[in-house]
């Protein structure tokens, strides 16, 4: 029955973190792991070659501070 108290509302899983732009890698990692504890965070220099496979638990962060929005991919 729709609308009953047993219906669970599931929030969509977060896939990007624009709020970490400009933060250190340590700060960005902490924020991302709060939202996605199973995240495999990969830190790479900007412009690094990366595989094109999509993994729902991988988050790539480029550079020493986060210059862009990290996202799942």
User: pLDDT confidence of 47, banded at 50, 70, 90?
Assistant: confident
For domain 18-62, the CATH superfamily is Trypsin Inhibitor V, subunit A (3.30.10.10)
Q: Which of 65, 58, 73 is nearest to 21 (CA)?
A: 65
What Rg, from alpha-carbon coordinates, does the chain have? Answer: 15
Q: How confident is the model at residue 12 (pLDDT cuts 50, 70, 90)?
A: confident
CA 69 to chain centre: 9
User: Tell me: the pLDDT tens digits for 21-40?
Assistant: 888 899 999 999 999 999 99
What is the model's pLDDT at position 63? 74
| Three-state DSSP state, 25 | helix
**64: pLDDT strictly greater than 70:** no
CA distance 58 to 37: 11
Give the residue extent of every domain in the chain.
18-62
């Amino acid at each position: 029955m729709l609308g009953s108290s047993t219906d669970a509302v599931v929030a969509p899983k977060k896939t990007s973190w624009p709020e970490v732009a400009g933060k250190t890698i340590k700060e960005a990692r902490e924020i991302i792991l709060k939202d996605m504890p199973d995240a495999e965070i990969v830190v790479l220099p900007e412009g690094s070659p990366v595989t094109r496979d999509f993994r729902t638990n991988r988050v790539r962060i480029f550079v020493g501070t986060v210059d862009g929005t990290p996202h799942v991919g």
